Amino acid sequence: MLPPNVPPPVDAQENAGILALFADGPGEEYVASMSGAQGLRPGRGGGMGLQPTLGAISAMDDGINAAAQSRWADESRVVKDWNPDDLPERSGYTGGLLADASGAVDKMGQPLDGRSNYNAFRKFGEIVGGIPQQPLSTTLGQLADWATYTAPDAQQRAAEITGRYAPDPSFSVLDRALASPLGGAAYGFANLSGASPATQELLLGLVSAADGLLMSAAAVKGAAPSFLGAQRPGVMDVESPYALTSNNYLSGIARSDKLDMGIRFENVQGSLNSYSLYEGRTATQVYMRAFDANGNLLSGSVRMDMVGQRIGGTYDLIDYKLSPNSPLTQNQSMHYPAFELNGGLVTGLRGADIGLQRGRILPPTPVQIQTGPLPTIRK
Amino acid sequence: MDRIEKAICKALLPTLQLHGFELHKEWGYFVRKQAYGFDALLVVNQGTAKGRFFEIKCHAEIRHDHIEVPWNTLGLVYGEDNQQQTWTLLYKDLAGRNAEPMKVVPESMAADVAHVSQQVAELFVHMALPFYARFADLREVEEWVNKTPLADANPTAGGPMEDRAFHALLLAKAVNPSRYASIREAFITLDQGMFPRDKRMAMLQRVDEIQL
């Protein structure tokens, strides 16, 4: 509330619009309604509100002084002489909005129900420019109003600005489609087929969920179904040159270790068998060949890890493998079954250690493959 | 022959040539031709089964064609060339089972080959040559083999039961017929061998029919 003896504000002319509302018609009704009611509240921005009319002021505040009443009486006079052509220039106004608002403006000249064009810099210039013509207290009051002013449509403008930069729903759909190409395809199919937006949303959600499950399963089993588009392999080869070097090095070590372990296993298990089963009547690394069904020798030869002679005069042919998964060589795959079916012979001199001379024929004898302590060595 | 066997045989060759042995390139061992057949010295690389080294073994054998030719008609050895190499007596592992194995380590192959060659040469001189001298006489062979008929403990007669049995039978039949019946009886009683009994009986019948 302005103190007594305060001259009308500089922007009193801008209030002419709103004062005109009370000159006749709706204005009178408004003043009447305000007489027994809450009156006009400060503006929506919480700062300086709508300047009350002279009648309203009288009704709400009996203590208002005569000078103030006189000032408002002058303003009322202005209102009476109001001409729409006398409205100050309002750049940026849309005539339609302002006309709809019936010209009601706040103390800063901004329409109460229209679209504001408040320019804080221009207003500040006007206040400063009026310093020579008015008291300092008036200027300070105007500056206080200026500093705390909020345009009537501030919330609407804020909502418009916020909405302008808010994510568009179509962006959300696009984002979800990129995350799940299968879901995106379903969405596009539904869109093209004219399905309702709800159906499109439902399809996108359901198929995206199914796509996610499939990709999860693929990741678990270490392979990705390529037809899904979004491939997420479970195991990736490390392509760093350092990693490759390390892998090659470790692979070489593993091969060397397996070979070493195989030799050691053959040595230990062979020695154990030699003394426990054959009382030392064994020969190692004996080259042998098997007969085919027609009694002819198969091509190539195999090197039997151990040939042991039992007390009964029979011979055991033993091949030591470090693991049950250790593969047979091509010759072993060919000769071992033939040994069991057709028998074979000794081709080298190493059988001499147990009396098997070169060319000695052995009757059909199964080759025993004794596996080592490593249960799961993979190729 | 692998390269280790060749290297050892090359180092041994001068020593063995002094005693009439030559390296048979096809057979892969030293052979000395004799009127009764041949004497042989075998140097065998037994491979890597004992660890990260190659174990070398040395065997001496003597062949009497008078026994081996009929013996090879039994069909125990495949191939004519192999049949020409069969032995009548084998002195296996001249170093003995309890001796320290003769090793060749890849990292020190040249030195190990020289050392092993020296060992084999000594075995040849001290073990093989007396063996050849003694069993050049077939009667000595028969006496040695049939002293304890079909005995497993006889190292030089070791090997498949059929080999020992039919060598014993043929030796007895050729040199000492009076012992043939007892050896034959021992063979019938001893139910051992790689082949079924009926096959061994058929082979025995074959020996019975052979005229030596």
Q: Where are the domains of chain A?
A: 10-157, 169-226, 251-371
DSSP A337: H
Count contacts between A and B (CB, < 8 Å): 105
DSSP A139-184: HHHHHHHHHH---TTHHHHHHHHHHHHSPPHHHHHHHHHHH-HHHH
> What average pLDDT score do residues B75-85 get?
91
ipTM computed for the complex? 0.88
For an interface test with B, which of A358, A362, A365, A370 has the most B Cβ atoms less than 10 Å from its Cβ?
A358
pTM over 0.80: no
Contacts of A353 in chain B (CB under 8 A): 44, 46, 57, 59, 92-93
Name the H helices within A193-324. Answer: 197-221, 241-276
For an interface test with B, which of A303, A317, A349 has the most B Cβ atoms less than 10 Å from its Cβ?
A349
Provide the token pair at A31. 């003043």
> Which is more confident, A32 or B70?
B70
- Of all residues in chain A, the one with the smallest CA distance to B165 is A313
- Of all residues in chain A, the one with the smallest CA distance to B5 is A349
Distance in Å from the first CA to the final CA of chain B: 36
What's the pLDDT score for residue A249? 60
> pLDDT > 90: what percent of chain B?
50
A290 reaches B (C-beta below 8 A):
no
> Which is more confident, B66 or A28?
B66
For an interface test with B, which of A261, A305, A357 has the most B Cβ atoms less than 10 Å from its Cβ?
A357
> What average pLDDT score do residues B27-45 get?
93
Provide the token pair at B207. 């020996």
Worst-scoring range by mean pLDDT, A89-93, A211-215, B155-159, B179-183?
A89-93
Compute the distance between CA of residue A264 and CA of residue A374 in angstroms, rounded to an integer: 13
- Subunit contact B50:A314, Cβ cutoff 8 A: no
Of A303, A358, A362, the CB nearest to B85: A358
- Subunit contact A352:B42, Cβ cutoff 8 A: yes
A87 reaches B (C-beta below 8 A):
no
Q: Are B31 and B22 in contact, with CB atoms under 8 Å apart?
A: yes
Contacts of B150 in chain A (CB under 8 A): none
Of A303, A314, A356, the CB nearest to B159: A356
pLDDT exceeds cutoff 70 at B159: yes
Of A311, A350, A363, the CB nearest to B195: A363
Of A263, A352, A354, the CB nearest to B52: A263
- Nearest CA of chain A to the CA of B85: how many Å? 8
What's the pLDDT score for residue A372? 77
Compute the distance between CA of residue B129 and CA of residue B136 in angstroms, rounded to an integer: 11
Instruction: Return the sign of the alpha-carbon dihedral for residues A66, A68, A71, A73.
Output: negative
Mean pLDDT in order along chain A per 10 residues (379 residues): 46 43 39 38 38 44 47 43 47 39 70 78 84 82 83 78 65 73 80 80 80 66 46 46 55 69 79 82 90 92 90 86 85 93 91 88 91 60
What's the pLDDT score for residue B135? 92
Among residues B52, B58, B53, B20, the alpha carbon closest in space to that of B39 is found at B20
The residue assigned the tokens 């089993």 is A221
pLDDT in tens, B85-144: 999 988 888 888 788 889 898 888 899 999 999 999 999 999 999 999 999 999 999 988
- Subunit contact B49:A305, Cβ cutoff 8 A: yes
- Subunit contact A313:B194, Cβ cutoff 8 A: yes
Strand-strand pairing, A315-321 and A344-346: unpaired
- Subunit contact A357:B57, Cβ cutoff 8 A: no
What's the pLDDT score for residue A253? 63
Compute the distance between CA of residue A289 and CA of residue A1 in angstroms, rounded to an integer: 120
> Which is more confident, A145 or B44?
B44
Q: How distant is the alpha carbon of residue B43 from its chain centre? A: 12
Compute the distance between CA of residue A187 and CA of residue A202 in angstroms, rounded to an integer: 9
